[in-house]
């Protein structure tokens, strides 16, 4: 594991990650820092905890509306896809085990 030092909203953090994951982690840190600075810059929220929560909600919203660039699921948002999978799992649970497997 590699140790990296980062700064988010002016506070320093030391993180550990695999060398192959370093660039992705640094990109994530930059994204979180930018979101938190944006929330803080709005001037409506001053507590770092509330800033972090609001930034997390914004990032979660981005994730849930993210769409696959191409392929058969290109027009399906991640959140919709997860709900469809959950619905299918519920349906399978209701149907139960096939008769051939019950023996």
Q: How many CB atoms lie within 10 A of CB 22?
A: 13
Q: What gap in Å lies between CA 27 and CA 34, rounded to an integer?
A: 11
Q: What gap in Å lies between CA 96 and CA 103, rounded to an integer?
A: 14
- pTM comes to 0.64
Could you please report the per-residue DSSP string of 37-103? HHHHHTSS---HHHHHHHHHHHHHHHHHH-B-SSSTTTT-BHHHHHHHHHHHHHHHHHH-S-HHHH-
List pLDDT tens digits, range 12-42.
999 999 999 999 999 999 999 999 999 999 9
Q: What gap in Å lies between CA 25 and CA 70, rounded to an integer?
A: 25
Q: What is the pLDDT of residue 79?
A: 67
């Amino acid at each position: 594991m590699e140790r990296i030092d980062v700064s988010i909203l002016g506070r320093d953090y030391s993180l550990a990650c695999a060398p192959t994951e370093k660039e992705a982690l640094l990109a994530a840190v930059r994204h979180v820092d930018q979101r938190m600075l944006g929330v803080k810059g709005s001037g409506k929220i001053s507590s770092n905890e509330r800033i972090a929560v609001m930034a997390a909600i914004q990032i979660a919203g981005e994730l849930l509306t993210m769409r696959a660039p191409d392929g058969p699921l290109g027009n399906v948002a991640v959140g919709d896809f997860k709900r469809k999978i959950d619905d299918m799992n519920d349906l399978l649970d209701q149907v139960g085990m096939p008769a051939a497997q019950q023996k």
